[in-house]
């Protein structure tokens, strides 16, 4: 008789215990899924932030490349204008030298005073023009120096941004490797 009670008791209790184990197993699986979804959400948020940072950095690099190109253009213009000023100064200096040589050659005891006066006026004009061109050349040299400094500054900024971009790239690459290794 005890056997029959035991059999009835076993039939009634065993399915309940099995059901409890199944519910516990389902609950653990559900918790694991919820945890994985949270991890995926956090990974997506981190990726979105990293993508936005990368886009901002790329935009800044592009803007800085434009600034470097403008600085290089200003330097190129300054060098061109300096070369023009130097060329003009050399040309006027050569004209002055020729005029002074012609004046000394023309100085003869019976020379026309008007001709002598014209030589003096032309020489004075050339000297004044030479002084103006010399000051312009100095000014152009200053502008060229400033343009060179500006170019170096802009290039340094670009280099810094490119280093940041490289660092971000390495961080993303390392992050990708680590997430590829993590168990799923």
Residue 105: inside a domain, yes or no?
yes
Degrees (nearest 5) of the Cα angle 173, 178, 184? Answer: 135
In a domain, 147, yes or no: yes
Give residue 122's pLDDT.
Answer: 87
4 within some domain: no
Number of domains in the chain: 1
Q: Is residue 17 part of a domain?
A: no
CB 165 within 8 A of CB 114: no
Let me know if residue 116 belongs to a domain.
yes
* 50 located within any domain: yes
pTM, rounded to two decimals: 0.65
Q: Look at residue 158 and tell me if it is in a domain.
A: yes
Q: What is the CATH number of the domain that holds 151?
A: 1.10.287.1700
CA–CA separation, 111 and 61 (whole Å): 72
Residue 171 sits in which domain range? 35-181
**Tens digit of each residue's pLDDT (9 = 90 or more) over 113-172:** 777 788 788 889 999 999 999 999 999 999 999 999 999 999 999 999 999 989 988 887
Position 146 in a domain:
yes
Say yes or no to pLDDT of 75 above 90: yes
């Amino acid at each position: 008789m005890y056997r029959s009670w035991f059999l009835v008791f076993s039939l009634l209790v065993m399915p309940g215990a099995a059901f409890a184990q199944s519910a516990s197993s389902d609950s653990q699986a559900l918790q694991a899924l919820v945890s994985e979804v949270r991890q995926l959400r956090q990974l997506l948020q981190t990726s979105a932030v990293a993508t936005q940072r990368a886009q901002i950095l790329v935009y800044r690099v592009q803007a800085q490349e434009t600034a470097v190109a403008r600085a290089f253009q200003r330097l190129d213009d300054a060098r061109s204008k300096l070369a023009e000023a130097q060329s003009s100064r050399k040309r006027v200096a050569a004209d002055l030298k020729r005029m002074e040589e012609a004046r000394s050659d023309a100085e003869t005891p019976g020379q026309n005073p008007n001709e002598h006066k014209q030589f003096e006026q032309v020489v004075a004009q050339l000297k004044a023009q030479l002084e103006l061109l010399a000051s312009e050349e100095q000014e152009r040299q200053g502008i060229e120096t400033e343009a060179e400094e500006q170019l170096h500054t802009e290039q340094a900024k670009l280099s810094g941004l490119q280093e940041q971009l490289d660092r971000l790239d390495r961080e993303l690459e390392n992050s990708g490797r680590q997430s590829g290794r993590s168990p799923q």
